[in-house]
């Protein structure tokens, strides 16, 4: 009986310690950044809501083009890869260095803009007037064929708030890198 009591006490102690440590190991700057990128890869509801917000603001897109772009970006997010390179904690502030690899859409967008400037007549409607939807269709087709990848290193910052690490707002530059639209 005494052995059983010691065993149960040891089990409770070990279980109690691991439960307490789970919170600690789950709430690190590194884990928060991993969750952030995992949410993109798994098409988390928050990521999809943000994507819908961006797509719905595209006033130059037809509904079909919005749907094409939405699907294109979903594929992009699923194919995003990342590797945590470093984690530096200084009190209630932290920086996590992460290397991401994404489809290089920026080159395609730049090439499409160049093509437009050199061949504007190809995007005119039957009346000979520039039609933005024709150019959007052209760009979407080019984006669908994108194969080149590009790597970026991001330094994401976090702040501890109420004993929990919270990612700071990501810069527009880092956001454009995540979306593969950073012009380098």
CA distances from 32 to 84, 110, 114, 164, 166 (A): 11, 33, 39, 10, 7
Residue 54 lies in a domain: yes
* Number of DSSP helices (H) and strands (E) in the chain, helices first: 7, 4
Give me the pLDDT at residue 17, please: 41
| Inside any domain, residue 35 | yes
**Residue 34 belongs to some domain of the structure:** yes
Task: Give the residue from 61, 149, 43 showing the smallest Cα distance to 104.
Answer: 149
pLDDT digits (tens, 9 = 90+) for 3-46: 333 333 333 333 344 444 444 457 899 999 999 999 999 999 99
Q: Is 61 in a helix, a strand, or coil?
A: coil
What CATH number does the domain containing 40 carry?
A: 3.10.450
**pLDDT tens-place values along the chain, 184 residues long:** 333 333 333 333 333 444 444 444 578 999 999 999 999 999 999 999 999 999 999 998 999 999 999 999 999 999 999 999 999 999 999 999 999 999 999 999 999 999 999 999 999 999 999 999 999 999 999 999 999 999 999 999 999 999 999 999 999 999 999 999 999 8
Specify whether the CB–CB gap between 76 and 179 falls below 8 A: yes
pLDDT of residue 21: 44
**Confidence (pLDDT) at 177:** 97
Give the pLDDT of residue 184: 80
- Given this model, what pLDDT does residue 25 score? 56
Q: pTM for this structure? A: 0.81
Number of domains composing the chain: 1
Q: Determine the structural domain holding residue 53 and report its residue range.
A: 28-105+147-178
């Amino acid at each position: 009986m005494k052995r059983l009591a010691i065993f149960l006490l040891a089990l409770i102690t070990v279980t109690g310690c691991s439960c307490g440590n789970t919170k600690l190991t789950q709430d690190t700057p590194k884990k928060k950044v991993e969750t952030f990128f995992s949410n993109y890869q798994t098409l988390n509801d928050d990521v999809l809501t943000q994507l819908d917000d961006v797509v719905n603001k595209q006033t130059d897109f037809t509904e079909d083009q919005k749907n094409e772009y939405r699907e294109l970006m979903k594929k992009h997010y699923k194919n995003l890869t990342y590797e945590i390179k470093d984690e530096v904690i200084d009190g209630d502030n932290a920086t996590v260095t992460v290397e991401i690899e994404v489809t290089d859409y920026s080159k395609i967008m730049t090439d499409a803009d160049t093509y437009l400037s050199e061949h504007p007549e190809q995007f005119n409607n039957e009346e000979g007037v520039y039609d933005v939807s024709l150019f959007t269709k052209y760009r979407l087709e080019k984006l669908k064929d994108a194969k080149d990848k590009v790597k970026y290193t991001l330094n994401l910052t976090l702040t501890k708030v109420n004993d929990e690490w919270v990612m700071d707002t990501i810069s527009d530059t880092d956001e454009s890198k995540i979306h593969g639209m950073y012009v380098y």
